[in-house]
Amino acid sequence: MVGPRNKWQIVADQSESSSMLKARSFRKYQWLVALLGFVLHSQVFATVSQDDGYRLWLNYRFITNPTLRLTYLEQTSHIYVAGNSATSDVIRHELQLALPTMLGLNPVFVSQANAATLVIETGTSVISELGDEGFHIVGKAKSLRVTANTQVALLYGTFALLRSMQTGQDLANLDVREQPKVQRRMLNHWDDLDRHTERGYAGQSIFDWHKLPVYKEQRYINYARANASIGINGIVPNNVNANALILTPSYLLKVQALADMFRPYGIKVYLSIKFSSPQQIGGLTTSDPADPQVQQWWQDKAKEIYQLIPDFGGFLVKANSEGQPGPGDYGRSHAMGANMLAKALKPFGGIVLWRAFVYAPDDEHERSLQAYNEFAPLDGQFADNVTVQVKNGPIDFQPREPFSPLFGAMPNTPLAMEFQVTQEYLGFSTHLAYLGTVFEEVLDADTWVKGQGSTVAKVVDGSLEGHDLSVMAGVANIGMDRNWTGHIFAQANWYALGRLAWDHQLSAKDIANEWVAMTLSQTPQVQQPIVTMMMASREHVVNYMTPLGLHHLMATGHHYGPGPWVDNLSRADWNPVYYHRADTQGIGIDRTATGTNGVAQYSAHWQAIFADPAKTPDELLLWFHHLPWNYPMRSGKTLWLTLVERYYAGVEGVEQMQQTWQRLAGQINAGQHHQVTMALAIQLQEAKWWRDACVLYFQQFAKQPIPEGLPQPEHSLEYYQRLAFPYAPGQG
């Protein structure tokens, strides 16, 4: 959708100085072009000599391969961008920003398609298979053509073209059609109105509610550019632990300002709402969804919102979970609550994203069972503009979980995927953990609910059951830090979320390759070790934190560091001891029929596997089974020994990452290199801390030694137990 023209500057503060040369025939002046390219390269290089990460993957480095550069130059020397909208301005601007720094020359914009080498225009007739967001790119020796049905799709095509150049693709013989597999590709910010970010590790929230709607930071535009470049088309700027004030008139004006800025980039704004808003800000005495006044209040509120924001996306709701109000407070079901909101939004085309992350204080069932228990029976009861948003695993974004059994268990309801991009449980923003592999592992998991091939990805994209509404969301890791995400490599997680939401068939490795090429280096010999490092990185974290299916071992509240000993919290299932159940007999939680019977929530295929420790993959062993310390693993080693080895392997993995990174000094921009070097030093310290604290703690029960030859823990268990971090960031 194309909105009103931008009134503010769309000039990114990353723009570079550029040459004014307008060459007609590049072949003719090849030597001159090459020389100028070199001169510009030096200039550009000088300006990026201390890259602080602000430009993300859009740093548009100078293309050093002269053959590629010359081809691209010829293909983009004269550009025609059809249209006269805010979005076509964005397209022109992005090309103006990117091409001079990548190619060393300014492109010439022409007003006739037949005078251009690069043509970007909507088709004269609708190309039905491309839909609203798909594009078609055709590349020939001296020309390029991007076509689509809408301006926003042209923007996606433009970014795809620029990505192809940044990653050194041959564009002279190209015929690509792309269309997103998931309809709504979203970021969920857990940002509060006072700019604190729940589980945020990259500084304050980027949304400066106090200064909005008048003060429009340049950062908002760069945020929108980054999102559009990876196909993100929806954002929720406020926390699911919502503040009712967001729906008051003065805040809605602020939301409108954001929506107006993001519209040209194809991004819709949605809001997290508080279910008790009718009472908190509406002056009603109840928020019961069965009450006609409450229903009317929401209908009026929806109308008010759409008057300000005609393309408003809808509401995201956390209800009856962790103290949040919800329909359950009135004895009503989640479906009743969701449908009341859905009815209010329906006339305007809005949707409800109703979260399945619930655990009620009075539910006697083990926490991992509760989402399924509450939601599966409601299948078929939700209105058609409701999607139930499910976290990827049954508990809570742990370093590794099996896929949530809800995927596949609600065939009549579109299920949205909620991933966590921010690293609440994977080392905050100081641990290098590439999450592309996490997302891929979950999306590729086969639920087997309709036989082999019923993957989670097919549930989410709607193809398994024929749903049109489809959503993939990531809890954002973005803040005011100059590099946006607190760690250069955490940018790759934002990037991977967007790319996989666009196309879940892309591999995590290919996405890592793209990101490295765009962000860090064009040189294959430099890219390759970095990608190898990224692909292994999440497993290192799993190993030094929660190997073999362990989970929820972190310290209380802030979740920073190990706390396997914690047993003093009021609800049993807030305590790590509840999940690992280590005692002299063994370790792990029995989720088979003799225990909590979580396995029964999976399809018959998985029940047969998860119910049997001999068949359960090592990675999930202690998630499903309580086993003796001397349990023989597939390798023939005991469980204790394997557990210890995994903890040590995790730390060794970080040491290897450090070595790889050290070897790349001088081949990566010094600013980027230095940041990552410092973060890796913290990661190594903390990996050792996790390892030593957990091994010492479990050793009390296993009563077996740490094998000889392995470094012994530096401190006593008591030392680790006494550590306190009252000011760890991101607390809820």
> Which chain residues interact with ligand GCW by CB under 6 A?
190, 198-199, 240-241, 318, 322, 357, 396-397, 424, 732
Q: Which two tokens stand for residue 641?
A: 């020994």
525 Cα distance to chain centroid: 28
Is the Cβ of residue 396 or residue 461 nearer to ligand GCW in the bound state? 396
Q: How far apart are CA 89 and CA 264, in angstroms?
A: 9
Which residues sit opposite 268 in a β-bridge?
Answer: 234
Q: Which two tokens stand for residue 481?
A: 């830090």
Min dist. Cβ of residue 731 to ligand GCW (A): 8
Min dist. Cβ of residue 240 to ligand GCW (A): 5
Min dist. Cβ of residue 198 to ligand GCW (A): 5
Q: How far apart are CA 183 and CA 661, in angstroms?
A: 38
Three-state secondary structure readout of 319-356:
CCCCCCCCHHHHCCCHHHHHHHHHHHHHHHCCEEEEEC
Is the Cβ of residue 538 or residue 691 nearer to ligand GCW in the bound state? 538
Min dist. Cβ of residue 188 to ligand GCW (A): 9
Is the Cβ of residue 361 or residue 380 nearer to ligand GCW in the bound state? 361
Of the residues 170, 300, 322, 567, only one is catalytic, namely: 322
Min dist. Cβ of residue 628 to ligand GCW (A): 32
Min dist. Cβ of residue 258 to ligand GCW (A): 20
Answer yes or no: are the C-beta atoms of 452 and 446 closer than 8 Å: yes
The dihedral sign for the CA sequence 687, 688, 690, 691: positive
Is the Cβ of residue 94 or residue 396 nearer to ligand GCW in the bound state? 396
Answer yes or no: are the C-beta atoms of 133 and 142 closer than 8 Å: no
Q: What is the CA radius of gyration of the chain?
A: 26
Q: How far apart are CA 6 and CA 171, in angstroms?
A: 32
Helix or strand (DSSP H, E) at 188: strand 184-188
Min dist. Cβ of residue 432 to ligand GCW (A): 21
178 catalytically annotated:
no
Of the residues 133, 374, 396, 645, only one is catalytic, namely: 396
Q: Which two tokens stand for residue 515?
A: 């990101």
Min dist. Cβ of residue 418 to ligand GCW (A): 8
Q: How far apart are CA 181 and CA 152, in angstroms?
A: 16
401 catalytically annotated:
no
Find, among 63, 120, 123, 66, the residue nearest to 94 by Cα: 120
In sequence order, what DSSP letters do the residues of 601-665 get, joined into one string?
GS-HHHHHHHT-TTTS-GGGHHHH--EETTPBPTTSSBHHHHHHHHHHHHHHHHHHHHHHHHHTT
Three-state secondary-structure class, residue 543: helix
Burial 613-641 (b: 16+ CB within 10 A, else e): beebebebbbbbbbbebebebeeeebbbb
Answer yes or no: are the C-beta atoms of 477 and 471 closer than 8 Å: no
* Phi, psi for 217 (deg, rounded to 5): -60, 140
Angstrom distances, CA of residue 27 to CA of 79, 93, 114: 18, 26, 20
Q: How far apart are CA 54 and CA 223, in angstroms?
A: 10
Is the Cβ of residue 529 or residue 557 nearer to ligand GCW in the bound state? 557
Min dist. Cβ of residue 425 to ligand GCW (A): 8
Is the Cβ of residue 254 or residue 318 nearer to ligand GCW in the bound state? 318
In sequence order, what DSSP letters do the residues of 277-319 get, joined into one string?
HHHHTT--S---TT-HHHHHHHHHHHHHHHHH-TT--EEEE--
Helix or strand (DSSP H, E) at 119: strand 118-122
Min dist. Cβ of residue 444 to ligand GCW (A): 23
Min dist. Cβ of residue 730 to ligand GCW (A): 8
Answer yes or no: are the C-beta atoms of 460 and 472 closer than 8 Å: yes
Q: Look at the chain and count its residues.
A: 732
424 catalytically annotated:
yes
Is the Cβ of residue 190 or residue 265 nearer to ligand GCW in the bound state? 190
Is the Cβ of residue 395 or residue 449 nearer to ligand GCW in the bound state? 395
- Angle, CA of 312, 314 and 320, to the nearest 5°: 155
Min dist. Cβ of residue 405 to ligand GCW (A): 18
CB atoms within 10 A of CB 215: 10
Structure-token match 């009549």, residue found: 412
Min dist. Cβ of residue 389 to ligand GCW (A): 10
Angstrom distances, CA of residue 261 to CA of 249, 258, 307, 485, 498: 19, 5, 17, 21, 20
Angstrom distances, CA of residue 195 to CA of 222, 238, 637: 19, 10, 50
Is the Cβ of residue 355 or residue 504 nearer to ligand GCW in the bound state? 355
Of the residues 51, 121, 288, 424, only one is catalytic, namely: 424
Residues labelled catalytic: 322, 396, 424
